[in-house]
C-alpha cells in the first residue's frame, strides 16, 4: 500500500497521503515534511465522521469523494473500502489532473482486499 501512496505523492502538488479508518487508525501513510501522521490522521478521521453525521440529516449514508479547497491548500478524501484515502495537496495543484491519479490509487487500495488493521 505504501508503494501506491509513494506513486501518488509523485504527482505535482501532492504533499502527502494517508489511508485512515474512520476511527483514526492509520493503515499506511507517506507524508511530506511538515505533516505529522498523528495530526493528519486525527483531522482526517474527525472530518470524515462529522461529514458523514451531517449528511445523514438528508438521508445520505456515506460519501465517496470529498474535496476541500482552502486558501493555502487542498484536501481530497476518497472512500477506499473499509478505510479512506486522504490526500493533502498544495493550492497550485491541478485538481482535474490529480483527481484521476487519486481515484486510481483509491481503486488499487480497494482491490488490495481486506485491509488488516
Partner 1 sequence: MGLFENMRRRREVEKLEDQARTNPGPNTFAELAEKLLAYGEEARALDVAKEASAKYPASEHVQTTYQFILRTHLQNRIRDLNRRLAQNPTPADYASLAQLYYKDLGDRDAALETCRRGSVPFPNDENLHLVNGLVRFDRFHEDFLAKDGLRAIEHLEKAATLNASNYKAHALLAQVFVEIGALGRAKVSLRTVLRLAPEDDRARQMLARVEAVAPVGPTEVDLERLLLDVERRGSLTREARAMVAGEFEKPVTEKRTRVDEAKLAPLLGRFDSVDGVRGALVLTRRGETLASKAAGVSADSLADVVRQVYDVAEESSKRMDIGSFVRGTIDGPFGTLHVVELRSLVLAVLTTPDAKQEQVVESIDKCLDLLASGAVGTV
Stretch that binds partner 1, among 2-10, 21-29, 63-71, 104-112 (CB under 8 A): 63-71
Binding partner 1 (rule: CB under 8 A), the pick from 21, 65, 101, 108 is: 65
Q: Is 100 in the site for partner 1 (CB under 8 A)?
A: no
Cell of 38: 498523528
Q: Is 107 in the site for partner 1 (CB under 8 A)?
A: no
SS3 label, residue 55: helix
Cβ neighbours of residue 67 closer than 8 Å, sequence gap 6 or more: 74, 75, 76, 77, 95, 99
Q: Which residue has the cell 507517506?
A: 30
Q: Is 115 exposed, middle or buried (0-12, 13-18, 19+ CB in 10 A)?
A: middle
Stretch that binds partner 1, among 4-12, 18-26, 30-38, 109-117 (CB under 8 A): 30-38
Residue 57 DSSP class:
G
Stretch that binds partner 1, among 2-10, 17-25, 47-55, 105-113 (CB under 8 A): 47-55
Contact footprint for partner 1 (CB under 8 A): 32-34, 39-40, 43, 46-47, 50-51, 53-55, 57-75, 88, 90-92
Amino acid at each position: 500500500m505504501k508503494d501506491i501512496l509513494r506513486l501518488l505523492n509523485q504527482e505535482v502538488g501532492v504533499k502527502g497521503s494517508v489511508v485512515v479508518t474512520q476511527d483514526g487508525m492509520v493503515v499506511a501513510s507517506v507524508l511530506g515534511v511538515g505533516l505529522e501522521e498523528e495530526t493528519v490522521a486525527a483531522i482526517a478521521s474527525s472530518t470524515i465522521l462529522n461529514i458523514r453525521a451531517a449528511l445523514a440529516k438528508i438521508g445520505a449514508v456515506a460519501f465517496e469523494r470529498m474535496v476541500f479547497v482552502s486558501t493555502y491548500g487542498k484536501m481530497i478524501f476518497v472512500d477506499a473500502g473499509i478505510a479512506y484515502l486522504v490526500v493533502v495537496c498544495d493550492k497550485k495543484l491541478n485538481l482535474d489532473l490529480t483527481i484521476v491519479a487519486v481515484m486510481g490509487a483509491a481503486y488499487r487500495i480497494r482491490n488490495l482486499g481486506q485491509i488488516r488493521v
